[in-house]
Amino acid sequence: MIDFGYGITRSNRLNLDEADLTLARKMARREKSFGTCIGCGTCTAGCTAGHFTAYNPRKIQLMILNGQTENLKEDLEKCMLCGRCQMLCPRGISLRSLWSKLYRALDAPHKTPSVTRDIF
C-alpha cells in the first residue's frame, strides 16, 4: 500500500436498501400505534430521563425505522418508564407499551416489566 497522504472516504449515508428492518417490522406487528409518530418532539421535551441525558424517545422510533439498532439497548437503559411521553403524545401513541415490547424484542430481560404481561 502506498500512503498518498489522503484516503478514500467511505459513504456516511445510511443505505436504506440494505438496512436490516427486522425490528421495525416486528414492532409494527406488536404495537399498532408504532409508526404513527409525526416527530413533534413533545415526548422528548417532557422526558424526565431526556432532561439529564441524550435519551430521545422521538429519535428512537426513527432509528428503529431506519434499522439503526446497534446501540438501542444502551439507549433504552436510560429510560425510567415513567410514562410521561405517553401522557403527552398528541398522536396517542402507547409509548410505554412500545418501550416494554421493545425491551422484549431486544431481549433485555432485566428491564422487561414481566409482571403486567398477559393479564388482559
Q: How far is the CB of 60 from another protein (least distance, A)?
A: 11
Q: Tell me if 106 sits within 8 A of 72, measured CB to CB.
A: yes
Site map 73..92 versus another protein, x via CB under 8 A: -------xxx----xxxxxx
Using rule CB under 8 A, residue 109 touches another protein: no
Unique residue bearing C-alpha cell 401513541: 93
| End-to-end CA separation in angstroms for the chain | 64
Choice from 47, 60, 63, 65 touching another protein (CB under 8 A): 47
Span interacting with another protein, options 6-14, 17-25, 46-54, 63-71, rule CB under 8 A: 46-54
Using rule CB under 8 A, residue 4 touches another protein: no
Using rule CB under 8 A, residue 68 touches another protein: no
Using rule CB under 8 A, residue 14 touches another protein: no
Q: Which long-range contacts (CB under 8 A, 24 or more apart) does 94-97 make?
A: 94/31, 94/33, 95/43, 95/57, 97/31, 97/33
Using rule CB under 8 A, residue 100 touches another protein: no
96 Cβ contact list (under 8 Å, min separation 6): 81, 83, 85, 86
